[in-house]
Amino acid sequence: MSDWRRLFGLLRPYRGVLALGIGLATLVIVANVALMALAGWFITGMALAGLGLGTINYFAPAAGIRGLAIVRTGGRYLERLITHDATLRVLSTLRVTFYARLEPLAPAGLQRYRGGDLLSRMRADIDTLDNFYLRVIAPTIAAALCVVVVNAFAAVFSPAVAMVNVAALLVAGILLPWISYRTSRARGVERRQALADLRATVADSVGGMGELWAFQVTGRQAQRIRRLSRGLIAAQRRDAWADAVVNAASATVSRLALWGALILAIPLVARGVIGGPELAMLVFLVMASFEAVAPLPAALRALAETKAAARRVFEIMDAEPAVAEPASESAPPATFDIVLRDVYFRYEDAAPWALAGADLTLSPGRAIGLVGPSGAGKTSVVNLLLRFWPYQAGAIEIGGVPIERYTTATLRQWFAVVAQHTHLFNATIADNLRIAAPEANDEQLHAALARAGLAERVARMPRGLDTFVGEAGLQLSGGEARRLAIARAVLKNAPILILDEPTEGLDPASEAEVLAALAPLMRRATTLVITHRPSVLRYVDEIAVIEDGRVIEQINPRGADAADARFWAHLRLA
């Protein structure tokens, strides 16, 4: 029930507009039923008048028919316009809220989710929630209102016909849909999960297409996608059969209601209680009234799928970030020296220690190179400094203040990161740069590119700053992508700089250009460099060797002999 309350809560800010949409939907159905009933009465009355069995006012019912047709058409247009606009506004707000809750979870809280699955939750599952109002709430309330209005009118001529019609509408609009819902509830969850698995697998396959080709497993992945697709189709086929059964049963009930109305109303004509036109009117009214409950089987079927989608969305929104924010924030530090003191950290309770008593000091204006074998704890140090994960013991301070006293938003403003795999969005060069400084003008962007050694290359591009870099920056070379990341760091002008394998995978010429662009940044910031390349270590002031989660030695690279076996053994560069 909490999920339903939260869904209603999403609609609350727009309740006035949504109520107007329901009112228009009710008006449209009532107008359509009235149009059918009036047309039946009018045609029958005209036929009797033509036989000389009575008289009829031609102009009033003819005008009424035209008016009801206009009301039905105009009301339908306004109803769709208002309800869809309000629904899209609700989904837009929900999507922003979802992202705001998702962002603090990264990366620690998202380890067990696939990227494609998160994308499916943000896009497809949130889109599915439009069913809640458009296909569940609005049709149900409109149907209830229409049943009351239509049968109150029918009761004026024949209470018995009205009662039979109400009973038939309850069976077609409540009993049959409820049976369908009870039998399809599990299938709705199954279908939603099958669709999510298929979307996630396709998204992951597209993102990893290069690896799939490299390892020659594209055929196997295609078989997996085909298998998931067949499972989804099977679930949809079962739903289609269930829909067919319910629709057939509903049609049968409507025909029985029609026969019941005829059986009850014909004797009234014989007794002179009602006339022939009224008989035709009641018959057409009963036939048309089933339009009110026609959407209800689909509404209840959509209910199961909507609930499954809501649970997947709220699961992310309810997740607690791994890193807790402070209740109040300390003032910014006077200096940006960093101290790690006896830090213990592991990623899971049962996992081995990634850092086991790590000690490290970084001073402003100095660059520390952190080296060691794979799994020694280098990346863990970065993860803790950026507060991606909390540590279990010890202390990490910036300017003498524990980092837990700062919000993650404030803390990360002080860091600029140039990583081995810096992500570039499929957008323009300007858009990718403005991630670091959203308010930067073109002149500032060109200045940052110049300091990164990329200005001339961008100037030669046909569209300059408006050049699209492609998915993950594929339109740029490795060196250009790395220098674009450096330009971001220049633009951010942060007091702390982290370089994580900044020249990995580059040829010597590109590496030299990247290092030349990084050197000025390193001289004015508190810099941590993670690398195993000797060419990069020549730019640092001190080398810290880390093994098994502990800094075991610190070396002056300028005083070390390149032929010293101890030096190379520590750096794991041999």
Counting every residue written for the chain, the total comes to 574
Q: How confident is the model at residue 574 (pLDDT cuts 50, 70, 90)?
A: very low
Residue at token pair 């029918």: 154
Residue-wise pLDDT tens digits, 370-419: 998 888 899 899 999 999 999 999 999 999 999 999 999 899 999 998 88
CA torsion, ordered 424, 427, 428, 434, to nearest 10 deg? -70
Q: In 319-436, which ranges are continuous DSSP H helix?
A: 378-385, 408-413, 429-433
Q: Measuring CA to CA, which residue among 506, 366, 365 is closest to residue 422?
A: 506
Q: How confident is the model at residue 187 (pLDDT cuts 50, 70, 90)?
A: low
Q: Is the pLDDT of residue 429 over 80?
A: yes
**Contact between 88 and 81 (Cβ < 8 Å):** no
Q: Give the rounded percent of residues in the chain with a pLDDT score beyond 90.
A: 30
pLDDT surpasses 70 at 569: no
Would residue 500 be called left, alpha or beta, if left means φ above 0 and alpha means ψ between -120 and 50 degrees?
beta
Over residues 499-533, the pLDDT tens digits come to 888 887 777 887 787 788 888 888 889 999 998 88
Above 90 in pLDDT, residue 189? no
CA dihedral of 204, 205, 211, 215, whole degrees rounded to 10: 130
Q: What is the pLDDT of residue 8?
A: 85
Q: What integer is the mean pLDDT of 56-85? A: 89
pLDDT in tens, 271-289: 888 888 899 999 999 999 9
pLDDT, position 562? 44
Among all chains, which residue has been given the structure tokens 């189709």?
233
Residue 448 is which amino acid?
A
Q: What is the pLDDT of residues 111-122, one digit of tens each?
A: 888 777 787 788
Nearest to 18 by CA among 137, 195, 158, 192: 137
pLDDT (mean) for 256-268: 92
Amino acid symbol at 342 = D
Helices (H), 493-571: 508-524, 534-537, 565-571
Helix (H, G, I), strand (E, B) or coil at 541: coil
For 88, what's the count of Cα atoms within 13 Å in the CB-facing half-sphere? Answer: 6
Assign 559 to helix, strand or coil: coil
The structural domains of the chain, ordered by start, are 2-318 (1.20.1560.10), 338-571 (3.40.50.300)
What's the confidence (pLDDT) of residue 568?
53
CB 436 within 8 A of CB 494: no
DSSP 14-67: GHHHHHHHHHHHHHHHHHHHHHHHHHHHHHHHHHHHHTTS----SHHHHHHHHH
Q: How far is CA 367 from CA 359, 361, 485, in A?
A: 16, 11, 19
